[in-house]
Each structure stands twice: as structure tokens, then as C-alpha cells.
Amino acid sequence: MPHITNIEDLRVLAKKRVPRMFYDYADSGSWTESTYRANEADFNRILLRQRVAVNMEGRSTRTRMAGQEVAMPVAIAPTGLTGMQHADGEILAARAAKKFGIPFTLSTMSICSIEDVARGTDHHPFWFQLYVMRDRGFIERLIDRAKAANCSALVLTLDLQILGQRHKDIKNGLSAPPKLTLPNILNLMTKPRWCLGMLGTQRRQFGNIVGHVKGVENMGSLAEWTAKQFDPALSWNDVEWIKKRWGGKLILKGVQDIEDARLAVDSGADAVIVSNHGGRQLDGAPSSISALPAIADAVGSRIEVHMDGGIRSGQHVLKAVALGARGTYIGRAMLYGLGAMGEAGVTRALEIIHKELDLSMAFCGRTDINTVDKGILLPGSWQHLESRQ
């Protein structure tokens, strides 16, 4: 643990310990992966403005996201198959988030169910991410289950009406649990820690779906059902219906266009997440950080603007806040920690990001995250990102 000093260290360790198909699922994008790479690369092109002889005492990274007090402007993003990075992964990540004081968001396509996570965290409020399926009865039941689990916000993903082409997943024959083909067996033999963990849990399928949909009782029927269920006809009318059915805080994920951000405001949502699905949907779309400033300027006074995509450090969080984000989300950084060391690895990832955020904020002459704005960025180092759109 003392030698884990940054998120890259966790990524390298996770790659050693997690089976190839699940590591590749986390660490890849769609098509040529150009948007996936741009998400992080564009962050690194933005330069910070160092200040000196400023009182750096009494620093605070505390703020609020969607009405909830948070230890720093970071939430754990919803990621599918988290429980395949490490046994009971969603429960472990939720526990780490609870102890750290930030939100955890559970994916519809999680291995541990809503109920598993609620029990595993002593019913600590967490957020639930919803995909819109053709089976509206299933969606209604999911929303009701999230309410029963005391979820405090619903994150509705808008950018997965159809599935992007993810070449590594196709080549690896991604499935949960993994199919016992010869290449998979040979790869699993090199991951004894992972295998022992999986032998010790019964949670190896999509817990929010299997047993909750008529006729879906195994991987074969699940794959067939899922392939038919993502709804390409999703519309803003569905968003309004879901908000009414849910009745609580609603966050819309997957916004990249100013006009869509305005429609999100009109729908009555409480927040939008500027996101390109981690570069896993439309390859060739702009990076999230380059799309953020224009959207924040257009609607930031009317709705909370959050962002995800490419965050691998506390400096990335700081830059996103400077460009208008009221909150950020980490997906891969959390998955690397989880795959590397379970709950302790997620905690370590959060510690790393928080320390980098705290120190970088101080070097830029600010002691309160709520006062951070574009003034901490070197003039001319970020405007070129907007001009590329």
C-alpha cells in the first residue's frame, strides 16, 4: 500500500489481478478509442496557474452534489459488471464511498443487486443508475426497488439507447460469469486471487435482472433479453414520466450538446452529467472536459452541471470544477482500485484523488473548493478545447 502513490499504480496492479475480459471491459473504448483517449489527454493540456505567498491554512474540499453534502466534489460513477472486477465489488465500493463521505452510484447492469448493496452498507443512501428498457413494467419495478432501498438520487443514462461497438469486448467474448473456453480457462489460471474471491460469493450474474424478469433465469436467457431491451425510442417524454414516477432527485447522464442540456433543464431534472460514456459509445465525439465549459455557461445557473470521463487525478477534478462542474464522477479510477485491492483499493483511489485535489487547490491560491473558478487556470490553456468542437 505505501508504494501506491497514484491511480496509474492501481491500474497496473489491477491488470495483473483481473481476468483479461473484465480488465479490458473497464480499460477500453469503442471503435478506434479516440474519444476514450481524448478524455484524459485533453485534461492534461489544461495548465494550472500557480500562486505564492497565499495563506494555505484551513483548506476545505467539502461541497454539495444534488443536495447531498460530500467530502469532495466526486461521486463514484455507475459501472456495469463491477462485481466481476472483484467479488462483491459493488458492495465493497459502496462501503468505501460511505466511509469517505461521497456518493456511490449503482448501475442497472451491476452484479450485486440493489438489495445486496443496501444490506451491505447498512442501508446507507446511495444513488441508482437507470437504463430505459422496452419493458416499462421492469423499469417501474426497478424504480420502486430503488425507493425501497432508500436511494437518494436516480441517475438516468440517456446515451445508451443502442450499444456502441466495443471491439475488445467482442474479441474477448465478454460474459458474466466468463464462459469456460480454453483461452478463458488459461487466463483464469493466472488470476488465483480473483478466482478464490469468486468461489466465495454467489453473486456472479446481473443481480438487478436475473430473478426479476419473467423467463430470465440464466446467462443464455439474460443475453437474449438484454439484446432486445435497450430502447432506441427513448424520448424526453420518457424522461418526464420517469421523473414523475421517481419523485426524487433526478440526474441525467450523457449530455454533450448545449441544446440537449437546455432540454434537460426543461424536463425538470436536478442535474446533468456531461459525459460520452467513457468513450464507449460514439467514438469521435468530443472529450467530456472540452464539452463542459459551453454547457456550464449555457445552463449552469439553472441546473447543476456535473461531468465524467477521463478523471485520473485530483488535478483533473480541480480543472473540471474550474470550468463549471459542480461535481465529477470517477469510474475507471475506482475500478482500478477495486481490481487491485478490493475495498482497500477503492479507498486508496479516493485518498489519492483527495490529496491531489487538496494540494493542487492550495498551490493555485484557493482554500475552499467552492471558490474555485477559471481564474486558477492559465489563460489560453483551455479555450482551444472549446474551439475543437
pLDDT at 154 over 90: yes
**CA proximity to 76, closest of 106, 54, 42, 116:** 106
- Known binding-site residue numbers for glyoxylate: 25, 131, 166, 277, 280
Encode pLDDT of 179-202 as tens digits: 888 988 999 999 999 999 999 999
- Known binding-site residue numbers: 25, 78-80, 107, 129, 131, 157, 166, 253, 275, 277, 280, 308-312, 331-332
**CA proximity to 73, closest of 103, 99, 43, 108:** 103
303, 306, 307, 313 alpha-carbon torsion, rounded to 10° = 150
Beta-bridge partner residues of 253? 157, 273
Residue 154 contacts by C-beta under 8 Å, 6 or more apart in sequence? Answer: 127, 128, 129, 130, 143, 146, 242, 246, 248, 249, 250, 251
Residue 222: what pLDDT? 67
User: Which residues carry out catalysis?
Assistant: 277
Label residue 82 by pLDDT band (50, 70, 90). very high
Give Cα 171 distance to the centre of its chain. 24
- Known binding-site residue numbers for FMN: 78-80, 107, 129, 157, 253, 275, 308-312, 331-332
Domains of the chain by range and CATH?
Answer: 7-212+242-387 (3.20.20.70)
Of 23-37, 122-136, 150-164, 216-230, the range with the lowest mean pLDDT is: 216-230
pLDDT at 388 over 70: no
